[in-house]
Each structure stands twice: as C-alpha cells, then as structure tokens.
C-alpha cells in the first residue's frame, strides 16, 4: 500500500479570536481551560485537514502558560503537523496574544497535541500521509517530536519512583526537597 506525501504547509491552520469577559477567570485573565479548548479545536482542525480523516486527541505534551492573556486582546493560534506516525500526527501549536490598541504581540504558549486519524465507519485508526520536510525548521521540529516520543517510551509515566521502594523515596525527598515525610501506618 503506497501512502501519499504532503508538505507541512498542507496542514497549516490559523485561528484568531478576540478575548471577551466571558472567557476570563476570577482574576480577570483569560481562563487556561478556555485556551486549552481553543488549542484542542485547532489541533483537531489541523490533523483532520492534513489526514482528510476525523481525528481524536490522544495526548497533550507539556503546556506552559508563559504570559497571561488579557480581556480585549486578540489571540492567534498557529498550528501545523510536525511529525507523523502510522495513524498519529504531532501537531505543534503556538499561541500569541496581541494588544489591538498598541499592536504589541506576546508569545503566551506552545504545546504539542498528538492526534489520531480514525476511519469514519469503524472508528479504528487509519494511516496518515507521510510528511515532506522543506526547511531546516521543519526538519528540526520533526526530530524534536521524535525525541519527545522516544523519551515517553523510555520511562512510562505510571512507573513508580525507585521501583516502589519507600525507603529510597523518603531518602530522596529528605535530601533534595523541602517537604516533611510523616508516614501514618
């Protein structure tokens, strides 16, 4: 079975939205959950555009909120496919906010969503097109995504520290962290 090849540019999506008071949290800044929802939407659109299939979110790599977003700012999310597996795609997302009165733009967030392409009838994962990389930036993003995937495989998130040895875990905490261990047995 031969798969199609597509350029990264075929996956580019941009979404811009004015931040309203209804999007804010109790401190008056844009709620992180609202921003995550927008990121999930653009990841879906990007993956679906690239694969031509319905996509679901499989995982989200680290999300750091670098700068708060204010009510009245124009938020722009840019997304593109950085890496493809058999049925998966790593979608890179960059979030920027612009003060529309001053024109000042700030980088607020970058994250990576892993999307899985699904068959509409069976719901099973289906193959996605391969990537054509056309710039140094695209090559580096592809390799960084592959590196993050490999690191996840090396140490499963569910593995217990020190193979579950309580004595070693307590020793580690006492030597390197500012916490008290008061075990109740």
DSSP state, residue 175: H
Distance in angstroms (rounded) separating the CA atoms of residues 61 and 82: 13
Give the Cα-Cα-Cα angle 58, 79, 17 (nearest 5 degrees): 110
Distance in angstroms (rounded) separating the CA atoms of residues 35 and 24: 10
pLDDT of residue 161: 84
Q: What is the mean pLDDT of residues 14-41?
A: 97
Q: What is the mean pLDDT of residues 8-17?
A: 98
Q: How many other C-beta atoms lie within 10 A of the C-beta of residue 48?
A: 18
Q: What is the mean pLDDT of residues 49-60?
A: 97
C-alpha dist (Å) from residue 168 to 165, 175, 179: 6, 11, 15
- Contact residues for 128 (Cβ-Cβ < 8 A; gap 6+): 3, 50, 51, 53, 84, 85, 86, 87, 88, 89, 117
pLDDT band, very low/low/confident/very high, at 56 (cuts 50, 70, 90): very high
Nearest 5°: phi and psi at 72?
95, -10
Domain residue extents for the chain: 5-155
**Fold (topology level) of 5-155:** Thiol Ester Dehydrase; Chain A (3.10.129)
Q: What is the mean pLDDT of residues 33-58?
A: 98
pLDDT of residue 1: 44
pLDDT of residue 145: 96
Q: What is the mean pLDDT of residues 8-24?
A: 98
pLDDT digits (tens, 9 = 90+) for 144-172: 999 999 988 887 666 788 888 999 999 99
pLDDT digits (tens, 9 = 90+) for 62-102: 899 999 999 999 999 999 999 999 999 999 999 999 999 99
In terms of pLDDT, which residue wins out, 125 or 180?
125
């Amino acid at each position: 079975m031969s798969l199609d090849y597509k350029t990264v540019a075929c996956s580019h999506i941009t979404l811009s939205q004015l931040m309203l008071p209804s999007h804010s949290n109790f401190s008056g800044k844009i709620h992180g959950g609202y921003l995550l929802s927008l990121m999930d939407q653009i990841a879906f659109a990007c993956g679906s555009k690239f694969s031509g299939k319905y996509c679901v979110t499989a995982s989200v790599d680290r999300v750091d909120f670098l700068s708060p977003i204010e009510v009245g700012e124009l938020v722009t999310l840019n997304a593109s496919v950085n890496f493809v597996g058999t049925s998966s795609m790593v979608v890179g997302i960059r979030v920027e906010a612009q003060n529309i009165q001053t024109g000042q733009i700030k980088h607020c967030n970058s994250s990576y969503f892993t999307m899985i392409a699904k068959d509409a009838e069976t719901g099973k994962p289906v193959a996605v097109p391969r990537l054509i990389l056309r710039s140094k930036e695209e090559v580096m993003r592809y390799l960084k995504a592959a590196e993050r995937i490999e690191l996840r495989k090396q140490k499963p998130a569910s593995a217990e520290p020190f193979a579950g040895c309580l004595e070693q875990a307590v020793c580690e905490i006492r030597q390197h962290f500012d916490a008290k261990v008061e075990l109740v047995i």
